[in-house]
Structure 1
Amino acid sequence: MQRYFVSPEQVGSDSVYLEGEDARHLAAVMRARPGEEFIACDGSGTEVLAKIETIEQGRISAAIVERRTSLAEMSWRVTVAQSLPKGDKLETVIQKGTEAGAASFQPFLSQRTVVQYDERKEAKRLERWRKIAKEAAEQAHRGIVPEVAAVCSWKSLVAGMARFDLTLICYEEEGRRGTGLRTALASFQERFAKDSGKAPSVLLIVGPEGGFDPREVEQAAEAGAVAVGLGRRILRTETAALVALACIAYESGELGG
């Protein structure tokens, strides 16, 4: 069944409507007809099952059959901070990270960032990144569309670490020393258990193709981050966040057990 994210204003007490590209897709591409159903999500975790009543040019109106809370979100809110990689690698991180359950993404520039950042192209790229997150969230049956923030500096990222309950910085040297992500997560869970009922917020920081400069890791640690390894192998920058998200999902009970 087709799923679409809509603004809260599009959802009424007993009706919902699609417009623009979503309406065109459902009518022209999926060839929907009155009486057929689709799911609309308001982006805040609430979704409705709706039955199409009318199809007009650029607009589809539907009656709400059922209203429910999405159960597809991780219990931990994980923000993936990814040092800007070359080519379309960030698109992969956003698409697959959304499928894996990330709540938001924060691209940033670090000392060894390889790509040449062009601020003039930022708005266009940001629009594309957000579209990728929306489409991936629909495909994965998410209840929210992960936020994709504008590219920030390393200094700005470090300054914002205090907003999170846990900040993890992935560093290959810790992997070689055997300081793994699992140990850090287990320690955090033991401490955070005292704040029962609160969904923890986690900042997961992944470096560029060339890795972090040691001084950057020191700066992150001074701001409260925990440096962790993702095993004894060296991962590509676009792989690291996905491996870490899977580990967090497992350790937080997302996968059962």
Structure 2
Amino acid sequence: MQRYFVEKEDVQENRMTIYGDDARHMTKVMRMKAGDSIQCIVDGRTATCEITDFTNESVRVHVVEWIEETNELPIRVTIASGLPKGDKLEYIVQKGTELGAAAFLPFSAARSIVKWDEKKGKKKVERLEKIAKEAAEQSYRNLIPHITNPISFKQLLEKSSNYDMCIVAYEEDAKNGESKALKRVFEQLNPGQKLLVVFGPEGGLAEEEISQLEASKFVRCSLGSRILRTETAPLYVLSAVSYNFELSR
């Protein structure tokens, strides 16, 4: 069943109105008609709805029943990525959303080749938000991950105080055989808490950045004995969180 996120202000009692790209997708792509069923997500709650009628710019539905479901990770994971090249951040957001990330926090690292100005950054974030929304619908998420505008490394350190635990994936620890730090972090986390995970860009994080992260109470972790690409490492951590807090319990 197709799922669509609906803004709270577009809900009136047991009726909802869907606008914009979603309405066009329903009419032009899915060829839906009155009487068809869809699922709508409002503020994290899911409802099975039936289409009642169409206008030129919208689709109206009424709620058949509200569904009690929770498809979110027990731990709220924010992925902080040093700005990578090309479309790698789009890949991280798409697949990271499917795997349950709560938010994405791009930052400018010392070895980031890509630089976003304010105008370019706004368009990029709008594109990333669209990717996250579509991935959240496809993967039956209850929430769309939040995506921030790119911040500086200094701002990243300042924001870290808002999280229960903070870790940084460090390839040198993987080369040296470290294998227990991530497990120890998981053992200290409880459902509902927030975890910030920092990943460097293609060239990794500079030693000075690692030192500053450690001084800000970040825990250095390896992600196994293999060295992962900047777009692969976040997916490893999200999968590990899912296994540890969902599948193994």
Please give the TM-score of this superposition, normalised by the length of structure 2: 0.95
Aligned counterparts, 1:207-246, within 5 A: 207-246=200-239
Task: Tell me what 2:114 maps to.
Answer: 115
Alignment match of 2:193 (pick from 188, 200, 205): 200
Distance in structure 2 (CA, Å) of the matches to 1:230 and 1:237: 12
CA distance, structure 2, for counterparts of residue 189 and residue 213 of structure 1: 26
Instruction: Determine the structure 2 residue equivalent to 1:39.
Output: 39
The Cα of 1:121 is off from its aligned counterpart by 0.8
Distance 1:179 1:185 in 2: 10
Paired residue for 2:2? 2
> What number of residue pairs does the alignment pair up?
249
| Structure 1 partner of 2:164 | 165
Which string of whole-angstrom CA distances, capped at 9 and with x for unpartnered residues, describes residues 38-87 of structure 1?
A: 11111x31011100111111111111001124321000000000010000
Identify if the C-alpha distance between structure 1 residues 155 and 4 changes in structure 2 by more than 3 Å, giving closer, same or farther: same
Q: 1:228 is aligned with what amino acid?
A: C
- The residue aligned with 1:187 is 184
Corresponding residue for residue 67 of structure 1: 66
SS of 2:106's equivalent in the other structure is strand
Determine the structure 2 residue equivalent to 1:144: 143
- The alignment-based identity, stated in percent, is 40
Paired with 1:212 and 1:234, the residues of 2 have a C-alpha distance of: 14
SS in 1 for 2:132: helix
Contact 1:176 1:231 in 2 (8 A): no
In structure 1, C-alpha distance between the alignment counterparts of 2:118 and 2:210, rounded to whole Å: 26
Cα offset for 1:119?
3.0
Partners of 1:17 and 1:38 in 2: CA distance: 13
Contact (CA 8 Å) 1:166, 1:188: kept in 2 or not? yes
Report what 2:125 is aligned to: 126
Judge conservation of contact 2:182–2:221 (CA < 8 Å) in 1: no
Return the alpha-carbon distance in structure 2 between the equivalents of residues 93 and 256 of structure 1.
25
- Residue-by-residue CA offset, 1:116-150 (whole Å, 9 max, x unaligned): 33333111111101000001001101000001100
Cα offsets for 1:13-41 (capped at 9, x unmatched): 21111112111111121111111111111
Shift of 1:239: 0.6
Partner residue, 2:247:
255
Give the whole-Å Cα distance in 1 for the aligned partners of 2:153 and 2:235.
Answer: 21
Paired residue secondary structure (1:237): coil
Shift of 1:191: 3.7
Q: For residues 114 and 227 of structure 2, what CA distance do their matches in structure 1 show?
A: 20
TM-score by length of 1: 0.93
Q: Distance in 2 between matches of 1:184 and 1:174?
A: 10
Where in structure 2 are there 5+ consecutive unaligned residues? none
User: Residue 218 of structure 1 aligns to a residue in which SS?
Assistant: helix
- For residues 137-179 of structure 1, the C-alpha deviation after alignment (integer angstroms, 9 at most, x for no partner) is 0110100000110000000001111110110100001112222
Distance 1:20 1:188 in 2: 43
Contact 1:91 1:132 (C-alpha < 8 Å) held by counterparts: yes
Structure 2 contact 182–222 (Cα < 8 Å) conserved:
no
Give the partner amino acid of 1:160: K
Tell me by how many angstroms 1:189 deviates: 4.4
Cα distance in 2 between the residues matched to 1:250 and 1:13: 38
State the distance in 1 between where 2:52 and 2:207 align: 60
Contact 2:104–2:148 at 8 Å: present in 1 too? yes
Aligned 8 A contact 1:94 1:133 in 2: yes
Backbone CA RMSD of aligned residues: 1.4
Q: What does residue 15 of structure 1 align with?
A: 15
